[in-house]
Amino acid sequence: MKRHQNLLLLLAVVLLAALPLWLVPKAETGADGKPVELFAGADNKARALIGPIAPDYRPWFKPLLEPASGEISSLLFALQAALGAGFIGYYLGVSVTREKQRREAEQPAEKSAAQGTEQAARAD
């Protein structure tokens, strides 16, 4: 029973990952004859708008590595976002755990100090 559930869950994950990519309609050509990128980001749109506004604009520097397509660029951006979110989540988890351990370490010390004060008061 458990094995069948795992296989069904694995199949569902694969389908959820593959079906959207398979069902996306093919890109049509734009007015300029180039294929329209489905997953184009704001950088490409800004680059297209800068041309008519400032025709003599020159970028300050060129990228060291140019991705082969917009989809790969989007993938790299998503990977960067996932790594950043993982790092932040790890840092927050470590911080919360350290604070919890610090509080737990202080509680026995406070209890033993309170017991020592109580015993001293009884002795008087």
Give me the tens of pLDDT residue by residue for the chain, a chain 124 residues long.
788 899 999 999 999 988 887 787 776 776 777 777 666 667 777 877 888 888 888 888 887 888 787 778 788 889 999 999 999 999 999 999 999 999 998 887 666 666 666 666 666 5
Length of the chain counted residue by residue: 124
Looking at residue 74, its amino acid is S
Output Rg (C-alpha) for the chain, integer angstroms: 29
Q: Which of 25, 50, 39 is nearest to 73 (CA)?
A: 39
H or E segment at 27? none
Q: Which residues pair with 29 in a beta bridge?
A: 35
User: For residues 39 and 71, is the Cβ–Cβ distance under 8 A?
Assistant: yes
Residue in this structure with the two tokens 């704001």, named with its chain if needed: 42
Contact 14, 21 (CB under 8 A): no
Q: What is the per-residue pLDDT for 100?
A: 94
